[in-house]
Amino acid sequence: EIDISVICGFPWEIEENYRIHNDYILDSYSRYPKRLIPMCSFSAYSKNATKEAKRCLSNGAKGLGELGFYLNDIGDREIDSLSEIMNILKEYNAPCIIHINEPIGHRYPGKAPLTLKGIFRLAHSFKENTLIFAHWGGGIFFYLLLKREVKDAFKNIYFDTAASPYLYDPRIYRVACEIVGEDKILFGSDFPLLTYERYLKEMRDSGIDNGAFQKIVYKNAKRLLGI
């Protein structure tokens, strides 16, 4: 049984579309405040992106996301488009979910041409923000084993599990707990793409203990979002 869910928008390019979507999310939250936690989204390229960020956060959004760049890697334009948005998020002490996918492997709809260099640049550019890298951050957490600047760049980054059954062997839960730490992993479902039961089974089968399981499915989000 699900007690409370984080609901996210989609980064539509057209302003009318993302405003309608965000209004729907905020209205749903106003009707079910004990069951839903709203996160709003928009294209970071939009000329009114910062205005929309302020509007949503001032009207009850607990963060922003999922933001993403689906047609290209993260470069100068992407960092510049996010800069003021990240400043606003710091003002509200709110997190941001970013779409990150693995740079290699099979192709599928929604897979962006990201590189490790681009993903790291994003983390390093906004290391004072609380960021949630979706989809295990494309596996970049492996590089937390490096001894120098990666750890500092990723000090405020969480990783979510969205789409994990489609992408990774269940052992990733155990490996991620060892490298990232069980306090930095959040249960993301990509619902309705997948239902939560499949994730829970894979977590149980992965060999993580019950303490780690409870942190991933609830306790970490409770702490992060102040539920």
Predicted local confidence at residue 63, as pLDDT: 98
Q: Which structure tokens are listed for 134?
A: 């979706």
Length of the chain: 227
Q: How far apart are CA 156 and CA 95, in angstroms?
A: 10
Q: How many CB atoms lie within 10 A of CB 171?
A: 13
Order of strands, sheet of 96-98, starting from the edge strand that comes earlier in the sequence: 5-8, 36-40, 63-67, 96-98, 131-133, 157-160, 185-186
Q: Which structure tokens are listed for 48?
A: 């009114």
Beta bridge partners of 203: none
Side chain identity, residue 18: Y
Predicted local confidence at residue 224, as pLDDT: 97
Predicted local confidence at residue 142, as pLDDT: 97
Residue-number span of the structural domain to which 180 is assigned? 5-225
Please tell me the number of Cα atoms within 13 Å of 146 on its side-chain side.
12
Predicted local confidence at residue 199, as pLDDT: 95
Are 46 and 52 in contact, with CB atoms under 8 Å apart? yes
Ordered DSSP codes for 189-214: --TTSS-HHHHHHHHHHTT--HHHHH
Are 160 and 97 in contact, with CB atoms under 8 Å apart? yes
Are 141 and 179 in contact, with CB atoms under 8 Å apart? yes
Question: In the chain, how many domains are there?
Answer: 1
- Provide the residue-wise pLDDT of the chain in tens; the chain has 227 residues: 899 999 998 999 999 999 999 999 999 999 999 999 999 999 999 999 999 999 999 999 999 999 999 999 999 999 999 999 999 999 999 999 999 999 999 998 889 999 999 999 999 999 999 999 999 999 999 999 999 899 999 999 999 999 999 999 999 999 999 999 999 999 999 998 888 899 999 999 999 999 999 999 999 999 999 98
Predicted local confidence at residue 5, as pLDDT: 96
Q: How far apart are CA 192 and CA 181, in angstroms?
A: 28
Ordered DSSP codes for 13-63: SSHHHHHHHHHHHHHHHHH-TTTEEEEE---TTSTTHHHHHHHHHHTT-SE
**Of 102, 115, 105, which is closest to residue 74 (Cα–Cα)?**
115
Q: What's 50's domain CATH number? A: 3.20.20.140
